[in-house]
Amino acid sequence: MSEEIFSKVHGVLAEINAAAPSNESELEQFRIKYLGSKNTLKPLFGEIRNIAPERKGEYGQLVNSLKQAAEAKFNVLKSTLSNKADAQESEGLDLTAPGLSRRLGARHPISATQDKIISIFGRMGFAVAEDREIEDDWHNFTAMNTPEDHPARDMQDTFYLRDYPKRLLRTHTSSVQSRTMKANKPPIRIIAPGRVYRNETISARAHCQFHQVEGLYIDKKVSFADMKQTLLFFAKEMYGPDSKIRLRPSYFPFTEPSAEMDVSCFICDAKGCSVCKYTGWVEILGCGMVDPEVLKNCDIDPESYTGFAFGMGIERQAMMRYKINDIRLLFENDVRFLKQFQSVH
């Protein structure tokens, strides 16, 4: 009985050594037969109970060699077939043909403009401060000296959440300023870039979501002249060394005095064009000295500290910088439009 079993094992070993699958399908059949979960080798292992005790060790080594031989054969055949397939695939390949070009992405004009603004103010020592987009009424309005009857609090301008009036989508990044002032003592020198939301009708010049960069500098003896020089440096770095600025009186609840800042038109060199409405000037931001009430609301002594603040829309800067005539293009993710900015830095 033992001799018959040994003979059978030697026969299976010969089959394994002689097997020569010529394609992946035949190789898979080989794997299933000798290495699969229901392979033909398993019954041979069970035959050890019918082997004479003095030959059990010999038989065990023999049946183990079956599995080892099958695994080795399978690996060799798999490698051979893989190399053969690669060789067939490479046949007819023109190694002198140019490679396939990869489509490269482009920096979005908003991101490029925001990064440039941050870089300019960073060289003047302004740190970047960021915070939440879902705000409460106090940090968004009250802390910034916005009266209860101010139009900006109206539902027409503000997106309130379901727990109205507790939470809202911030209407400006001034809320970052109020949180920074509450959490830190002067000197404070920050810029706050980020997305803001207003309940406005979407058109070529306005959108319900856009981006702002607001700046804040608070310290002892900060003056209006400091603000003017800071913004003049920004204009020259952003729009060219020959740029000029002018400040026009305005009103903002959180600054006093307040001003609108214009820059000499860089499109027509201040000679007059459709962009500047033939005035030679383009409005780019609002600014002013921080109102003492805002400092009080944020636990800063207005008798010891003064400061200035400014804010600008990033989309407006991007539209002027790249001569874009419709703000909606910046939010539609049209690849045809974005491809034009592949060389933007």
Residue 209 sits at φ, ψ, to 5 deg, of -135, 140
CA end-to-end span of the chain, whole Å?
Answer: 84
Cβ atoms within 10 Å of 275's Cβ, excluding its own: 15
Does the predicted model carry a pTM greater than 0.75? Answer: no
At residue 89, the pLDDT reads 57
Domain ranges of the chain: 2-85, 109-332
C-alpha to C-alpha distance for 239 and 242, rounded to whole angstroms: 8
Q: Which run of H or of E encompasses 247?
A: strand 245-252
The C-alpha atoms of residue 72 and residue 236 are separated, in whole angstroms, by: 73
pLDDT along the chain (345 residues), means of 10: 70 77 79 77 72 73 77 80 63 73 80 95 96 94 88 79 86 95 95 94 88 96 97 94 93 94 84 80 94 96 96 91 87 86 69
CA nearest to 174, candidates 209, 204, 139: 139
pLDDT at 156: 67
Rounded Cα distance, 295 and 237, in Å: 30
**By CB neighbour count within 10 A (0-12 exposed, 13-18 middle, 19+ buried), where does 218 fall?**
buried
Q: Are 342 and 104 in contact (CB under 8 A)?
A: yes
How high is the pLDDT of residue 29?
A: 83
Q: Which fold has domain 109-332?
A: BirA Bifunctional Protein; domain 2 (3.30.930)
**Phi-psi domain of 217 (left: phi exceeds 0; alpha: psi -120 through 50; beta: other):** beta
